[in-house]
Amino acid sequence: MIFTRIIISDSYNFTMAEGRFTNPVVASLAGVKDFFSKQKLADRFTDDDRADGMTVLVTGANSGLGFALAVAFAKRGGNVIMAGRSKIPRAGERVKDLSGSALVEMRYLDLSNIRSIHDFVETLVEDEIKIDICILNAAVALPGSRRTASGQDEMFLVNYLSNVILTRLLLEKSVIELRDSAVSSKMIFISSDSHQGASAIDYNEFGRYFEYGVSKGISNYSYFKLVLNTYATELSRRVNEQTVKLSINAICPGPVHSNIVKEAPWLLRMILKGIFWIVFKSPAKAAHPVLYMALSPDYEGKTNEYLHMFNPKKMDPKVYDPAEGKKLWERSMALLKEIDPDHGTYIRVKESYAETAKPEKTAGS
């Protein structure tokens, strides 16, 4: 058997949350159908979709899809900030070479370390940087549990909770501005269609650390995408109470030939790499629908939309439940108050964004 038995400490007696898949080979083969499916809006993506004058932040940009997105945004005229925890500055220099643009920089960001997120945003504030497009791409797929310095499992922190901290900080520090104008800032969560059918959010498990192996790790990947999509929906609900001040959308780019399984056991890694090589899309091709959602006029002023590659569709119905979104928000903030000493920099007494929008500039203003 190539799958590791899930090990749960006897001190935890609860039903575990489940993602759509627990078998990594089955999960990968599910992408084969996606690879050959018709792409409804593919023809809408053109060379006219440009990022000229825009500042674009891409997390997890040192490799894979994030790296490909950095190259593509730079080619299309964007000022690109690559956030990652390795290959600095080597990956950034490579993006400059491939894109022919000098408007690229790398900054250190380790989403498994809460202090690193604060430091990252503080440098953006110090340098007076304003982000027009934020691509939340970074994620990990691990073969088992791994405790972080703050006491959470690494997949829970990197794939979900750190995105909460990062987005809240970017908004509270006005690095991303809410705009009452025809052109809004954009925030795109890189998701996975494997979130469809994941179990409801388990608050007994939420934020707890326990030991597990490969099967639960695979399950967690799709489960945390459902949690992340639920947060994105709730964030959009709170930010865009009356009008769209910030476009907050999610996308599954489809099956991507990347190095996300680099930490899987050797035999499993070889099997998955074979599947990836034969049928999965290159990161450069997988980047196209993300670029379309970020740059096309088709998505200007739209929020809480979801694309599966170039196909608009609905997310799992559980994602849209207002009561579930409110509960996730409250439980996330309560957990952050426990584990983040600097939570006061982004958690408000009054949790509303209604007063923070920047008015549209008029002639002579």
Sheet holding 133-136, edge to edge: 104-108, 79-84, 55-59, 133-136, 185-190, 246-252, 306-308, 311-312
State the pLDDT at residue 74.
98
Give the closest residue to 195 by CA, choosing from 232, 221, 233, 158: 221
Its pTM stands at 0.86
What pLDDT, in 10s, does the model give residues 189-212? 999 998 998 999 999 999 999 998
Is 16 part of a structural domain of the chain?
A: no
pLDDT band at 363 (very low <50, low <70, confident <90, very high): very low
Residue 9 predicted with pLDDT over 50: no
What pLDDT, in 10s, does the model give residues 289-340? 999 999 999 999 999 999 999 999 999 999 999 999 999 999 999 999 999 9
pLDDT band at 362 (very low <50, low <70, confident <90, very high): very low
What pLDDT, in 10s, does the model give residues 84-131? 999 999 999 999 999 999 999 999 999 999 999 999 999 999 999 999
Is 354 part of a structural domain of the chain?
A: no
Is 325 part of a structural domain of the chain?
A: yes
State the pLDDT at residue 65.
95
Lowest mean pLDDT among 54-68, 92-106, 210-224: 210-224
Is 317 part of a structural domain of the chain?
A: yes
Is 64 part of a structural domain of the chain?
A: yes
Is 357 part of a structural domain of the chain?
A: no
- What percent of the chain shows pLDDT beyond 90? 70
Give the closest residue to 253 by CA, choosing from 304, 197, 306, 190: 190
What pLDDT, in 10s, does the model give residues 140-179? 988 889 999 999 999 999 999 999 999 999 999 999 999 8
Is 13 part of a structural domain of the chain?
A: no
In terms of residue numbers, what domain contains 252?
24-340
CATH number, domain of 151, equals: 3.40.50.720
Report the domain count for the chain.
1
